[in-house]
Structure 1
Amino acid sequence: MTAKDVRVKLVTEIRDADRKEEITMSEPGQYFSRGETEVVKFTEHPEEGEPVNTMVTVKPGHVSIKRTGGVDMRQVFQKQLETENIYHHTYGDFHMKTFTDQIEYRSLEEASRGRLFISYQMTLNHEVTQRHRLTLIIEEESE
């Protein structure tokens, strides 16, 4: 198993009919790889609320993002498939449906800068559907 200290940059774009929101954050993290599975772990520190521990697992054709702490959820992305999960938040539980349009991944094993890009549509509580684009950039921390 390979383990490395990395710098993680996460950019999330959310669009609905009339607005676009972009959230960018950068945190130290860790990268692990074993066989065809790669994992990135980091802790998000939102301006409001508790820290959120995030674990991104990438396998061929499959990405899962698990968050615990301030929020509790596991989201699964598989190209051209719809997945469902429950998002547990301080303000209550939300039902989430995710339809993944596209997944692109460049491994940290192949380049000094890894990149995960996911474009998906998410429907919250069967009501609002928003387009999301998530870009996760992983760079090795220089010694």
Structure 2
Amino acid sequence: MARQKQLVRIRLESRQEDERTVHEYDGEWVIKERSGYLLYEEHDEGGHPVKTTIRVRPDELSIVRRGAVVSEQRYIKGLRQAGEYSTKGLRFRLETVTDLLTITSAKAADSGLLPLPLDISWSYTLWMDEQHIGRFELRLYIEEAD
């Protein structure tokens, strides 16, 4: 299957307890086989670039970050997933237990593809090196750029 590539606008909302953050990015949405890939660049707290790739499947979300921060996380509803996070010589093992993952589109899907706009919500509990960190709720909205 040929790749389909679109320029997109991204809105990412995150909530942990009473703290809420919202970030907006420009990126690319690439359809390859039966997965959608969201590619964009963000910056760590020091302002260093981090390339982020989010793979979207109907029942799974994977996030890979490369740059000043290196991390991999996977979210599948009802499952505990191993991951990792590293920065400046520090490395941590991550585990997530995802209790919610919904992926919805305003358009009907053609042959299992993920048409834009997409609204993705997920929530999970995070452990870092076997220490409970907290529960997170995220919402990712992806739409075609003007």
CA distance in 2, matches of 1:49, 1:40: 21
Structure 1 unaligned residues grouped into runs of 5+: none
Identity percentage of aligned residues: 26
Name which of structure 1's ranges 4-13 and 108-117 shifts more when overlaid on structure 2: 108-117
How many pairs align? 138
Give the direction of change, closer, same or farther, for the CA distance of 1:60–1:113 in structure 2 (3 Å limit).
Answer: closer
Q: Does 1:25 align with 2:23?
A: yes
TM-score, normalised by the number of residues in structure 1: 0.87
Amino acid at match of 1:114: L
Give the direction of change, closer, same or farther, for the CA distance of 1:47–1:88 in structure 2 (3 Å limit).
Answer: closer
Partner of 1:12: 14
Shift of 1:35: 3.4
Amino acid at match of 1:139: E
Structure 2 unaligned residues grouped into runs of 5+: 109-114
Q: Secondary structure at the match of 1:48?
A: coil
- Deviating runs (4+, > 6 A) in structure 1? none
CA distance in 1, matches of 2:26, 2:40: 6
Partner of 2:131: 127
CA distance in 2, matches of 1:47, 1:92: 15
CA contact (8 A) 1:32 1:38 kept: yes
CA distance in 2, matches of 1:107, 1:35: 18
Which of 112, 133, 136 is the equivalent residue of 2:140?
A: 136
Aligned-residue Cα RMSD (Å) equals 1.8
Amino acid at match of 1:134: L
Shift of 1:115: 1.2
CA contact (8 A) 2:44 2:68 kept: no
